[in-house]
């Protein structure tokens, strides 16, 4: 066990020993640490809550095949110990030994992508991450990579143009030549667990699941962090002192992704961006909702375990995962249990998870019986916004267009993510047509009493919930008609 953290920064390995430093604590953010150094003030603070991207830096992480993967993150949400074993790249890291600008910086200059310049280092780092990960990115990929960066004066067109210009020749920068050297340096950093003890705080970073479970048993009140995109705001916005932290962000077992004939198992510690790559074809409704979840910087940090761990009534993951009939895996010192997500949430931010248990995985059954699953998120803007109302719907029909199974799950309509059981009961066995759906919509008023808040009025929420049901019907119309034609063709061929 070690008590310091080591990472690669500014061309060399840097070690921070918290016990001998009065300037930093285990919950000092990477942003604040950088800004405390004389030569690293390029990284800016705008909001300190993950919304503006002015603090964007890139982390280089060793992947299983020994190569480096680059991810943009908001440094205002990353605690210093989360850097252990990684490479930290800031805007100061980009120019080459001859002092020339990096291709993404040069493109920003050439395309006039900066005016006051406050947002520019953040944009440059998001573009650098795009440059390292995509050759010839599409307009959608460029826009997605910039979703987490705000600019108030230049306008986005020249920045998007700079991205397109720079990314024509991916990976032809100096970093491409130094990758193996850096990977070698990172490989040599100790992978054992970290235990940081300061007079006010305990920060433990276990290196295995067994260790994490034992720690949770020994410290049931400790705050678990995975991506910390939720918890970090308690430090940056509420200025809380987090006394005891168990950081599971480097537990390898929580990052596993596996599948068998019947289901897919997603580790609770996999980042949402990694989940997107894996599930696009198998679970398109999950992919859809992830594509409007936060921003690249948030999805590179945030995890499924963290999202379900918040038990938020506006969690974007719960409705869609419940519609996919997913199970959550909880593990503690007394063993492992797998329960339906339908039974996980018990009230406002309350779950059945015991204090000594960790969320370790989510298991999603594969769609076998032609069920249709769709997800919806209604928010004030498309990207980087919190849901006003969200939904995950699942439908199965027989050859007569009768509903044989239906699940309607709403977020933002109650104190917790909730199924509309009255509507489900009404629709079961009925013909799936516009008339029946219109009748069913009226039950939503009786089933939900949403609140009015800064985001929307209760009346608006009810109207949206009803309209989403109608939208679901219209979107499934093609599938329904397709199935009817198919079943009629089968009947005809049986008759012949």
Ligand X SMILES: Cc1cc2nc3c(=O)[nH]c(=O)nc-3n(C[C@H](O)[C@H](O)[C@H](O)COP(=O)(O)OP(=O)(O)OC[C@H]3O[C@@H](n4cnc5c(N)ncnc54)[C@H](O)[C@@H]3O)c2cc1C
Binding site residues, ligand X, CB under 6 A: 49-51, 223-231, 248, 268, 293-294, 298, 301-303, 305-307, 309-310, 315-316, 358-359
- The only residue of 6, 26, 42, 53 in contact with ligand FES, by rule CB under 6 A: 53
**380-397 as b/e: b if 16+ CB within 10 A:** eeeebeebbbbbbbbbbb
Give the residue among 83, 1, 72 at the shortest CA–CA distance from 34.
83
- The only residue of 90, 154, 325, 417 in contact with ligand FES, by rule CB under 6 A: 154
- List Cβ neighbours of 38 (8 Å cut-off, separation of 6 or more): none
For ligand FES, the binding residues in 118-137 under the rule CB under 6 A are 118-120
The yes or no reply on residue 213 touching ligand FES (CB under 6 A) is no
List the end-to-end C-alpha distance of the chain, in Å, as a whole number.
75
- Measured from the CB atom, the residue of 46 and 332 that comes closer to ligand FES is 46
- The only residue of 30, 54, 104, 289 in contact with ligand FES, by rule CB under 6 A: 54
Q: Which does 303 bind (CB under 5 to 8 A by kind): ligand X, ligand FES, none?
A: ligand X
CB 62 within 8 A of CB 183: yes
- The only residue of 55, 266, 314, 403 in contact with ligand FES, by rule CB under 6 A: 55
The yes or no reply on residue 50 touching ligand FES (CB under 6 A) is yes
What binding mask, one character per residue, do residues 321-360 give for ligand FES by CB under 6 A, x or -? ----------------------------------------
- Scan for tokens 């910086």, then name that residue: 105
* Residue 410, CA distances (Å) to 143, 191, 304, 403 in order: 29, 42, 18, 19
- The only residue of 3, 115, 165, 436 in contact with ligand FES, by rule CB under 6 A: 115
Dihedral, CA of residue 147, residue 293, residue 471 and residue 409, to nearest 10: -170
CB of 205 to ligand X, least distance (A): 13
- Measured from the CB atom, the residue of 297 and 307 that comes closer to ligand FES is 297
- Measured from the CB atom, the residue of 126 and 279 that comes closer to ligand FES is 126
- Measured from the CB atom, the residue of 83 and 363 that comes closer to ligand FES is 83
Count Cβ atoms below 10 Å from residue 419 Cβ, excluding itself.
18
Alpha helix segments (H runs only) across 189-313:
209-218, 232-236, 272-279, 284-290, 296-301, 304-310
Q: Give the integer Cα–Cα distance in Å for 381 and 26.
A: 35
Residues lying near ligand FES in the complex (CB under 6 A) are found at 45-48, 50-55, 74, 76, 114-120, 151-154
């Amino acid at each position: 066990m070690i008590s310091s953290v080591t990472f690669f920064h500014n061309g060399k390995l840097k070690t921070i020993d918290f016990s001998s430093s009065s300037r930093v604590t285990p919950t000092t953010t990477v942003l604040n640490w950088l800004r405390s150094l004389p030569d690293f003030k390029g990284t800016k603070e705008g909001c300190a809550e993950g919304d503006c991207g002015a603090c964007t830096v890139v982390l280089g992480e060793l992947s299983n095949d020994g190569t480096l993967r680059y991810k943009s993150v908001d440094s205002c949400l990353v605690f210093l110990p989360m850097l252990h074993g990684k490479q930290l790249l800031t805007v100061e890291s980009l120019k080459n030994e001859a002092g020339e600008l990096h291709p993404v910086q040069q493109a920003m200059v050439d395309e006039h992508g900066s005016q006051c310049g406050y947002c520019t280092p953040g944009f440059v780092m998001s573009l650098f991450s795009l440059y390292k990960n995509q050759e010839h990115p599409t307009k959608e990929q460029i826009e997605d990579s910039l979703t987490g960066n705000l600019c108030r004066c230049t306008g986005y067109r020249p920045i998007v143009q700079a991205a397109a210009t720079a990314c024509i020749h991916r990976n032809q920068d100096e970093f491409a030549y130094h990758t193996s050297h850096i990977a070698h340096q990172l490989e040599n950093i100790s992978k054992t667990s970290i235990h940081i003890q300061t007079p006010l705080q305990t920060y433990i970073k276990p290196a295995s699941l067994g260790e994490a479970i034992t720690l949770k048993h020994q410290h049931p009140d400790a705050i678990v962090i995975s991506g910390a995109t939720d918890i970090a705001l308690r430090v940056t916005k509420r200025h809380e002192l987090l006394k005891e932290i168990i950081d599971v962000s480097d537990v390898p077992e929580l990052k596993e992704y596996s599948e068998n004939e019947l289901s897919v198992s997603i580790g609770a510690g996999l980042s949402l961006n990694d989940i997107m790559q894996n599930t696009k074809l198998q679970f398109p409704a999950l992919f859809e909702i992830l594509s409007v979840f936060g921003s690249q910087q948030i999805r590179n940090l945030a995890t499924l375990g963290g999202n379900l761990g918040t038990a938020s009534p506006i969690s974007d993951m719960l409705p869609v995962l419940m519609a996919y009939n997913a199970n959550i895996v909880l593990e503690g010192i007394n063993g492992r249990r797998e329960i339906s997500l339908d039974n996980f949430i018990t009230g406002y931010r309350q779950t059945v998870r015991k204090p000594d248990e960790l969320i370790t995985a989510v298991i999603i059954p594969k769609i076998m019986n032609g069920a249709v699953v769709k997800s919806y998120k209604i928010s004030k803007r498309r990207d980087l916004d919190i849901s006003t109302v969200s939904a995950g719907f699942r439908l199965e029909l027989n050859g007569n267009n009768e509903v044989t199974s239906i699940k309607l799950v709403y977020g933002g309509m109650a104190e917790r993510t909730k199924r509309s059981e009255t509507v489900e009961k009404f629709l079961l066995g009925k013909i799936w047509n516009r008339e029946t759906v219109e009748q069913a919509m009226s039950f939503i008023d009786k089933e939900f009493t949403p609140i009015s808040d800064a985001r929307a009025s209760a009346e608006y929420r009810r109207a949206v919930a009803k309209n989403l049901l109608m939208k679901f019907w219209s979107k499934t119309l093609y599938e329904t008609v397709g199935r009817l034609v198919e079943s009629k063709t089968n009947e005809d061929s049986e008759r012949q």
